[in-house]
Amino acid sequence: MISVAALSLPVALRKQAAPGPMLYVSIFVELLRARPVLMIWGAALLQAAVWTFVPTLFYLAPPGELPTVLAVGHELQLGTDFGPPLAFWLAEVAYIMTGGHLFGVYLLSQICVVITYWAVFALGRSTVGVHHAALAVLMMIGIAVFTFPTPEFGPAILAMPLWAIILLHCWRALGEQRRGYWLALAAEIGLLLLTTYSGLLLLGLIALFTIANRRARATLGTIDPWLALIVVIIVMFPHLLWLTETGGGLLTLHGLANPDSIVSNLTVWLRQLIYIIAVYAGLLILLTVVSGRWGRHDPAPVIARLPVDIFARQYVYFFAIAPILAATFVALVLGWSAPIAALAPLVLLSGLAIVIAAGDDIELKHQHVLIAAWFGVLFVPPAVAVLALAVLPWIGVDLNVNLPANAMASFFGDNYQRRVGTPLPIVAGGPRIAALVALGSSRPSLLLDATPQRSPWVTMNDIKVKGGIVVWPTTDTAGAPPADIKERFPDLVPELPRAFDRGVQGQLPLLRIGWGVIRPQSQAIERQPPAVAR
């Protein structure tokens, strides 16, 4: 390990010998040089705590697609059209372990973020030294997907730590020739493939790097990589069996073979490019600050390292650049569209690549601006989230997290229980509202009736036999269902809409939910009037 004195003494002597302002080193930079591990863990855990408690305390409804993730996880499927099952299972386990409270799912999301930081730091420590590794992790605050560590747990969030750990252990196996990591690497790749099909991208890139790089290719002469491949297949076997039997997921790709998809794929590709540019915008601003090409050129502290091994450079550069290029190629050819959160694994090594490219001696100029930026990124995004929740309803902007999820689930569940005498078994209708109601105490199954293949665990016949509730958002007081719901449930008798108060009502109208009860088939038959004899 490079000592602090070795890092700072030569630079300090140069600065003292030259005329000009005295060298100033802030306490945070000294902490970075003296206790880099403590600083990284402190920043990561503080960020995780903030993003766990902000949604727990201020969100009335889970954000984004989290309600659907929990509805899918509750069914314990081996696979669905939503993708491989691991993230859905873990979300359900976290939800149950915390007594049906979303705190557990929010905490799980932040644990994934912290593990991601740790894995990138551990890889950097092995390649560029502990101090530059800390700088690389701190550089990640300029990347949008790490600036806003979303509490919306799902496959994209779970993929981050798995991807980072795979890159770390791949380095251990290829770069440090530690054969024991091959089996761990295989199990982790299997888990990634059980989380998201984008894991195939990383698997292909690892194979490409291993074959193309002479030093990495030497490992193919041992039995370990081939045993690892067998372990990957074993871990994936249940899901592969599901794919074979259902023809779902990965087997339903539409690429350029269909001429009608070319324009659509180009649109997806352009959108992915825009996402990537947006992800890197903050990092470019941060690099401009660090470069010191504006303002006064005062003496600045230097963080130094030993020269980086050529193989380490090749490894970091490849896995910092190749995933982004491969993802844009996949978007162009196959038309795969990923949300911005799904880009996080692709840019994990960007900070580390920039630190390597910056050279062995990195000057930290404009320290006050850098410190303000770091603390701003830590506290401003959650503050903005809370402020938006308090202010936007007053200017007529509705937010998904402002919906009264518990009140809706309680009302519809209790109403069905009183009318039918059994817990609510199935809920259908508007996807967002139905998914929120599905979080009720009886945990009814979610029927996505507009696209039945999205919820194969329950069918239209099930809701006719077992009964259920159909819900939809409405603005009138009559409660007539939309045309698409009326078409799918022609015998549905709508009730008067139920009005709910949002957490922050502001200038928004009351939230009105139209609904109708579908009684179980046995009760429906009993309620039919007797036939009149002719």
Those residues with Cβ within 8 angstroms of residue 267's Cβ, 6 or more apart along the chain or in another chain: none
Which has the higher per-residue pLDDT, 519 or 288? 519
Q: How many CB atoms lie within 10 A of CB 374?
A: 16
- Whether 498 and 424 map to the same domain: the answer is yes
- Whether 376 and 418 map to the same domain: the answer is no
In a domain, 88, yes or no: no
Question: Which of the listed residues 384, 414, 430 is the one where a domain comes to its end?
Answer: 384
Share of the chain above pLDDT 90, in %: 28
pLDDT for the residue 245: 62
In a domain, 361, yes or no: yes
- Whether 336 and 465 map to the same domain: the answer is no
- Whether 31 and 168 map to the same domain: the answer is yes
In a domain, 409, yes or no: yes
Written as one letter, the residue type at 238 is: P
pLDDT in tens, 95-120: 999 988 999 999 999 999 999 999 99
- Whether 377 and 411 map to the same domain: the answer is no
Residue 335: domain span: 4-59+102-239+257-384
pLDDT for the residue 285: 67
Which has the higher per-residue pLDDT, 276 or 183? 183
Which has the higher per-residue pLDDT, 328 or 335? 328
- Whether 470 and 360 map to the same domain: the answer is no
In a domain, 279, yes or no: yes
Phi, psi of 471 (to 5 degrees): -125, 155
In a domain, 71, yes or no: no
Question: Which of the listed residues 384, 413, 436 is the one where a domain comes to its end?
Answer: 384
Q: How many CB atoms lie within 10 A of CB 476?
A: 9
Written as one letter, the residue type at 525 is: I
Query: Per the structure, how many domains does the chain have?
Result: 2
pLDDT for the residue 347: 85
Rounded to an integer, the average pLDDT of 354-380 is 77
Rounded to an integer, the average pLDDT of 6-33 is 53
Between 27-36, 134-143, 197-206, 388-397, the lowest mean confidence (pLDDT) is in 27-36
Q: What's the rounded Cα separation, in Å, for the pair 330 and 503? A: 41
Under the banding of pLDDT at 50, 70 and 90, the label for residue 273 is confident
Which has the higher per-residue pLDDT, 12 or 212? 212
pLDDT for the residue 286: 66
pLDDT for the residue 87: 94
- Whether 350 and 491 map to the same domain: the answer is no
Rounded to an integer, the average pLDDT of 280-309 is 68
pLDDT in tens, 293-303: 555 555 666 77
pLDDT for the residue 311: 92
Question: Which of the listed residues 350, 384, 418 is the one where a domain comes to its end?
Answer: 384
- Whether 495 and 371 map to the same domain: the answer is no
Under the banding of pLDDT at 50, 70 and 90, the label for residue 15 is very low
Under the banding of pLDDT at 50, 70 and 90, the label for residue 138 is confident
> What does pLDDT average to over the chain?
80
Between 55-69, 198-212, 338-352, 414-428, the lowest mean confidence (pLDDT) is in 338-352
- Whether 262 and 153 map to the same domain: the answer is yes
pLDDT for the residue 7: 39
pLDDT at position 264 over 60: yes
- Residue by residue, DSSP assigns 482-522 as PHHHHHH-TT--BPPPEEE--SS-TTPPPEEEEEEEE--HH
Rounded to an integer, the average pLDDT of 371-379 is 75
CA dihedral (142, 144, 148, 149) positive or negative = negative
Phi, psi of 176 (to 5 degrees): -105, 0
Share of the chain above pLDDT 70, in %: 79
- Whether 445 and 478 map to the same domain: the answer is yes
In a domain, 93, yes or no: no
Strand pairing class (511-518; 498-500): antiparallel
Those residues with Cβ within 8 angstroms of residue 31's Cβ, 6 or more apart along the chain or in another chain: 38, 39
- Whether 221 and 332 map to the same domain: the answer is yes
In a domain, 390, yes or no: no
In a domain, 533, yes or no: no
**What does DSSP assign to residue 43?**
H
Residues 21 and 299: beta-carbon distance below 8 Å: yes
- Whether 226 and 331 map to the same domain: the answer is yes
pLDDT at position 484 over 80: yes
